[in-house]
Structure 1
């Protein structure tokens, strides 16, 4: 609530309030007692609505005006579940991997903030014996091997990882993991880097190459993208990967103002006696800004009031 005071008598002392900036005018109303109310549900995760400045004009009955700004800061509500970067994790490991070795990291993001965004990971829906072999770091999502896999060659383990946020009540989500064990003598495809980092200007045309990934194996390699679940993990198919060469290309226009970074997982497949061998690597893509936006006035039109016969 805002309050403007005019010491004049009669109509000259009456006050009329108006919200004059468009962003706030579309989301808030103000009555003639200066009480501000919302016109729609607001979302803190929308960058435009996280902090909103309301510019209020008070006009008396004689046309004189005064202005003030009210800053609205939205506080967080735990209204978003964690979202895994990928829709499924598939990988192959050799049976001689050491106990305690990390084999893959699963990552979930939560759009809330503070405790509501703190994610804890659990291994869920285990098959027989999987619990004795697999463990996950609860804060990082790194999956490790607890016991020797020797003797478990050609076994397949399917389980799920659950991500739970720290809100009350909490939200959670899960992602399936498909793990195949192969003999130590089977050569897996190996990426040249565990993490690739590329940059893409937001004015790149569709079809332009951003960079390439490279894996080595005895058998021919096929590359593919892990299906993402969020905009940042390529859910909308903004990027494509050449199956033969590993070239990463822009398939749709990118926009720095919408998404500044993409985090994508890529897979290298090769076939060994009808067994699909799979290795994973991660790709980070920074979207570079170009000057493609013009200034926009916050209010359109602006309103001004002048008393007649005012001195120059």
Structure 2
């Protein structure tokens, strides 16, 4: 300048990244042209302020977890974490479900906006639905934030909470009629047993209780009750049969159904006198 003073300017030559280096320290020296020369020094500390130049990032794009049905409310499912190296509000991440999560799923699960913890909020029933997909977004609180997304697949594990259901496939489920002349192997009723559980929990075995002239034959999708002995209405005109069904779960659940078999008459007896002769 005209008065002989000079100004030094410190110019940025390369882009700065606060996340790589947030502070710089310099020592500036000014040297005059005298003989001997004189010098002066000053320290300069530069702090790089944050800009919201980093978006939140999940470690995975998809997650798979499982949770038992009938889990009580507030049961933890998964804790999600999205990292953001920015500082302050630029690095403060909030979590939420977004558009693709349906209303029913939102009734069953919730996510804490600050911790990313997903918990159970509704009644999980494997028989109602056993797979749910949660679309989660993480967004920082800085300006011009770009959210990150991930998908959480929740598989509901089956509990043995449904007993077998026995249905007698006949006109009258309480009473079956069969002729006393019915031969062995004659089918008197069809039985269908269902269990809403899965796997061993829903695998059912049936048996016919008691010492009766009938037997139960199991097939893949139904069972039959057959005559297994000689029927004689004059000796035994009805039987009370009980079918018992047990599943393979732990603990085992069972159910039973009883019905009456009425033996109908056939003309299989000749008339006879009480005495061979009368006087």
TM-score bracket for the superposition, by shorter chain length: 0.5 to 0.7
Instruction: Compute the displacement of 1:112 (Å).
Output: 0.4
Mapped to 1, the partners of 2:147 and 2:182 lie a distance apart of 76
Correspondence for 1:116 among 171, 196, 201 = 201
User: Hey, what does 2:214 align to over in structure 1?
Assistant: 134
Gaps of 5+ in 2: 1-78, 269-279
User: Does the alignment pair 1:8 with 2:86?
Assistant: yes
Instruction: Compute the displacement of 1:89 (Å).
Output: 3.6
User: Hey, what does 2:164 align to over in structure 1?
Assistant: 82
Instruction: Compute the displacement of 1:137 (Å).
Output: 2.3
User: Hey, what does 1:100 align to over in structure 2?
Assistant: 185
Q: Answer yes or no: is the 8 Å Cα contact 2:162–2:197 preserved in 1.
A: yes
Mapped to 1, the partners of 2:260 and 2:82 lie a distance apart of 65
Distance of aligned partners of 1:10 and 1:142 in 2 relative to their CA distance in 1, 3 Å threshold: same
Q: Answer yes or no: is the 8 Å Cα contact 1:82–1:163 preserved in 2.
A: yes
Question: Larger C-alpha radius of gyration, 1 or 2?
Answer: 2
Structure 1 segments (4+ residues) deviating >6 Å: none
Q: Answer yes or no: is the 8 Å Cα contact 2:240–2:258 preserved in 1.
A: yes
User: Hey, what does 1:167 align to over in structure 2?
Assistant: 249
User: Hey, what does 1:28 align to over in structure 2?
Assistant: 109
Q: Answer yes or no: is the 8 Å Cα contact 1:95–1:152 preserved in 2.
A: no
Mapped to 2, the partners of 1:96 and 1:117 lie a distance apart of 38
Superposed counterparts of 1:230-245, under 5 Å = none
Distance of aligned partners of 1:92 and 1:173 in 2 relative to their CA distance in 1, 3 Å threshold: same
- SS of 1:42's partner is coil
Please give the TM-score of this superposition, normalised by the length of structure 1. 0.53
Question: What is the CA RMSD across the aligned residues, in angstroms?
Answer: 2.2
Please give the TM-score of this superposition, normalised by the length of structure 2. 0.59
Q: Answer yes or no: is the 8 Å Cα contact 1:84–1:108 preserved in 2.
A: yes
Q: Answer yes or no: is the 8 Å Cα contact 2:233–2:263 preserved in 1.
A: no
Mapped to 1, the partners of 2:248 and 2:267 lie a distance apart of 44
Mapped to 2, the partners of 1:10 and 1:138 lie a distance apart of 69
1:75-95 superposed Cα distances (whole Å, 9 cap, x missing partner): 111000011235934211111
Mapped to 1, the partners of 2:139 and 2:267 lie a distance apart of 83
How many equivalent residue pairs?
179
Mapped to 1, the partners of 2:256 and 2:174 lie a distance apart of 11
Gaps of 5+ in 1: 187-312
Correspondence for 1:70 among 122, 137, 152 = 152
